[in-house]
Amino acid sequence: MNLPPKKYSALVSEIRSFNPIRYGKSRNFKNGAVSYLSPYISRGVISLNEIAKLVFERYHPKDAYTFIKELAWRDYFQKVWEAKADEIFTDLKHQQEKVKHHNSVTAVVHAKTGIHELDAEIRSLYERGYLHNHIRMYIASVTCNIAGAHWFKPSQWMYYHLLDGDPASNALSWQWVAGSFSSKKYYCNQENINKYTGSKQQGSFLDEEYEKLVNMEVPEILKEKENTQLQTQLPKSECDLSHSIDGTVFIYNSFNLDQEWHKDKPGTRILLLEPSHFEKHPVSEKVMRFILDQSLMIPDIRICVAEFHDVQQAWSNANFIFKKHPTTTHYRGIEETPLSLFPSVQGYFPSFSAYWKRAEKEMFKMDKNKSLFD
Ligand SMILES: Cc1cc2nc3c(=O)[nH]c(=O)nc-3n(C[C@H](O)[C@H](O)[C@H](O)COP(=O)(O)OP(=O)(O)OC[C@H]3O[C@@H](n4cnc5c(N)ncnc54)[C@H](O)[C@@H]3O)c2cc1C
């Protein structure tokens, strides 16, 4: 699946023709009717709230149930990130058990695990920047629970290559698989992979009953480890910080590429790429290209490779406007809070099920009162 930069209007049309019933029946299968919306959601081109409203124009909540629940996972992870900040990059609920090292697994990084489907999908990740949810779970499970790697380094490797890279969905999903943000580790075996990917492989190290996998010695092929170096190549800055600017400056970044945001208001529009952010969360050239190309859908936007602090000092007469996000807590100016999936469901919940209990009620009220989403 190739995922090009898209106009907001094109996404709206796609969502209007998306069928959540087919999604509910097939989403676990590699070739299932999934939405492929994640790069546009993660980059802030369209919000979960807008997607849900568009889906409810045509479907009753019970028909869209599975799809909305998946959107809710993303919303939940964002809330955990808001509440716990950088703690999400450490073992959040329990220490990951049976950790053998804190590196990447060479066979995974080089697509040589011997599990044909996983190797093909890892190669496809490098080419296209996307993986189906189940494949992400399989890769994380083999890496952490079979090869014994701690989740953090490998999660950075996957994030680096994903067009939809989102620090919260990524780190917390890896933790969920590795058992540090869930009650038990997630295991997959060859039978499960064959079922959901349509492959027929037999005799691999995963071709075992679950009870055996849990206590299995690390297979020879997964023993080699490496400290993968991940670096971001930032583009050339188009911002002149030697001349001050008056008036409004709208700050976009790699998580806010919303083409509709204040689109008719006059002002300077900058795509702020902070070196310190990409030092902490490196992305591949392909991902950076996607971010830049997606930003071109915003008229007159200028790339600004600088720290917020330096822009603020250089343009001290400007009024900065930005969207609230866990990566913008150090920005100063007018902070706008975007609508979350269910605007009345706010704050931290200790588990997804506690969050979903509240969110589900809101979803069913929706049918009767659509303004609940505003
Ligand atoms: C190890 C691992 C790493 C992941 N890393 C990321 C990441 O960096 N960025 C990211 O956006 N998602 C991540 N996910 C979640 C999920 O795999 C992707 O959001 C989903 O596969 C994207 O494809 P889609 O848009 O076709 O999803 P669909 O199935 O069509 O779902 C629609 C939307 O719902 C949300 N969603 C669906 N499933 C999940 C889920 N399990 N967790 C959180 N949100 C979900 C996404 O925003 C997605 O775009 C990760 C999952 C795992 C297991």
| Domain residue ranges in the chain | 8-87+342-373, 90-226, 247-336
Q: Is the CB of 52 under 6 A from ligand 1?
A: no
Confidence of residue 1 (pLDDT cuts 50, 70, 90): confident
Give the nearest ligand 1 atom to 77 CA.
43
Q: Do domains 8-87+342-373 and 90-226 have the same CATH topology?
A: no
Confidence of residue 29 (pLDDT cuts 50, 70, 90): very high
Confidence of residue 371 (pLDDT cuts 50, 70, 90): low
Judged by average pLDDT, the poorest of 109-113, 128-132, 154-158, 359-363 is: 359-363
Which pair of structure tokens corresponds to residue 158? Answer: 């996957």
- 167-201 pLDDT tens trace: 999 999 999 999 999 999 999 999 999 999 999 99
Q: What is the mean pLDDT of the segment spanning 284-305?
A: 98
Q: Is the CB of 14 under 6 A from ligand 1?
A: no
Instruction: Please give the Cα distance from 239 to 302 (Å, whole number).
Output: 7
Confidence of residue 369 (pLDDT cuts 50, 70, 90): low
pLDDT at site 370: 60
Q: Which residues contact 183 (CB under 8 A, 6 or more apart)?
A: none
Instruction: Please give the Cα distance from 302 to 128 (Å, whole number).
Output: 26
Residue 293, pLDDT above cutoff 80:
yes
Q: Is the CB of 27 under 6 A from ligand 1?
A: yes
Give the nearest ligand 1 atom to 140 CA.
1
Pairing of strands 318-323, 268-273: unpaired
Distance 27 CA to ligand 1 centre (A): 11
Q: What is the mean pLDDT of the segment spanning 109-114?
A: 98
Residue 345, pLDDT above cutoff 90:
yes
Confidence of residue 289 (pLDDT cuts 50, 70, 90): very high
pLDDT at site 367: 60
Give the nearest ligand 1 atom to 162 CA.
8
Instruction: Please give the Cα distance from 363 to 343 (Å, whole number).
Output: 11
Residue 291, pLDDT above cutoff 60:
yes
Pairing of strands 334-336, 268-273: unpaired
Best residue for ligand 1 mutational test, from 1, 31, 68, 173 (most atoms within 8 Å of Cβ) = 173
pTM: 0.97
Confidence of residue 365 (pLDDT cuts 50, 70, 90): confident
Query: For the chain, what percent of residues have pLDDT higher than 90?
Result: 96
Q: What letter would DSSP give residue 241?
A: T
Distance 76 CA to ligand 1 centre (A): 12
Closest CA to 281 of 183, 194, 191, 155: 155
Q: Is the CB of 181 under 6 A from ligand 1?
A: no
Residue 368, pLDDT above cutoff 60:
no
Q: Which amino acid would we find at residue 46?
A: I
Please state, rounded to an integer, the average pLDDT across all residues of the chain. Answer: 96
Q: Which CATH number fits domain 8-87+342-373: 1.20.120, 3.40.720, 1.25.40, 3.30.310?
A: 1.25.40
Smallest CA separation from ligand 1 atom 26, residue: 36
Q: What is the mean pLDDT of the segment spanning 343-351?
A: 95
Q: What is the mean pLDDT of the segment spanning 237-261?
A: 96
pLDDT at site 165: 98
Which pair of structure tokens corresponds to residue 374? Answer: 């505003």
CATH topology of domain 90-226: DNA Cyclobutane Dipyrimidine Photolyase, subunit A; domain 3 (1.10.579)
Confidence of residue 2 (pLDDT cuts 50, 70, 90): confident
